[in-house]
Amino acid sequence: MRLALLQLRDYGSLAENRAQTVKKIAEAAKGGADVVCTQELFTTPYFCVKQDPANFDLAEKIPGPTTDLLCAAAKKNKVVVVGSLFENRGSEVYHNTAVVIDADGTLLGSYRKNHIPQDPAFEEKFYFTPGDLGYRAWKTKAGKIGVLICWDQWYPEAARLTALRGADVLIYPTAIGWLPSEKAALGAAQHNAWETVQRGHAVANGCYVAAINRVGIEGESEFWGQSFVANPYGQVIARASENKEEILYADTDPKAQAEFRRIWPFFRDRRIDTYGDLTKRLVDDEAPKVVSKKKKKK
């Protein structure tokens, strides 16, 4: 499976973002891609830098005009497409959603972002309702892929549950960057944490991980690019630049992946009978039981 990650900037309008992405899908197909993936919310600027009710007008229905366009591009270029959109579900409910389209143009389904962050310049809880479709993997012409979105990257449970559904590749459309006030002191550490945790998901699940980030400065955020693909050993086999638009290619190796899982059979050795507390917010220590002593009769 050859992956192509579209590390792009915002072009200033819905029409231009769509046009540039369709153009890059065709270019990626010519480069031998089997699966082409967009950055998070590729049709719009990263509007979550501030809370503004007018931004809800950027959302669209799924299926809708953008998915129709992506389906046509997938079919024309014979590639699987993963696209990240701002979904208007109806009744003023909105989601951060990724769609998976097979190489024949069939819309296979959607994943709605489950973990929603709330930080300065990342005001996502104002816009997005948490996902309700669970963790999913799709059998495509290119292979079985799972899709998660940005803040989901930090949660090993999300990666594990998607991998348990058979995903050989975990794909993360992303929009993450630095704030000017933090970059000098924390920028390198923040990027290292972001990459390291995802490389850990690759190892723990014996799969490939692909993270597609934006580039450019939008509002207070300087998106740090550096889209990458890691193999099951957690090794980065392809990495994009920090501030340039590009198509990043990487090839997966199913035989090597199968061999990794045979040597390190993490799924086999899981103690699923001991994981019940994972469904709790916190695991508090139980108070010691007080055993009363009966007085002896005289």
Tell me which residues are annotated as active site.
40, 113, 150
Cα–Cα distance measured from residue 231 to residue 135, given in angstroms and rounded to the nearest whole number = 21
Listed residue (227, 214, 238, 195) closest to 39, CA to CA: 214
Q: Kindly give, in sequence order, each residue whose CB lies less than 8 Å from that of residue 220, ignoring residues fewer than 6 positions away.
A: 49, 120, 121, 179, 180
Q: Where are the alpha helices (H) located in 206-283, listed in sequence order?
A: 254-263
Listed residue (179, 213, 167) closest to 39, CA to CA: 213
Cα–Cα distance measured from residue 263 to residue 251, given in angstroms and rounded to the nearest whole number = 21
Q: Kindly give, in sequence order, each residue whose CB lies less than 8 Å from that of residue 252, ignoring residues fewer than 6 positions away.
A: 1, 2, 3, 143, 168, 169, 208, 231
Which strands make up the sheet holding 143-147, listed edge to edge? Answer: 137-140, 143-147, 169-173, 208-212, 228-230, 236-239
Determine whether 135 is exposed, middle or buried from the number of CB atoms within 10 Å of its CB (0-12, 13-18, 19+): buried
51: left (phi over 0), alpha (psi -120 to 50) or beta: beta
Cis peptide before 63 (omega within 30 of 0): yes
Tokens matching residue 276: 């019940």
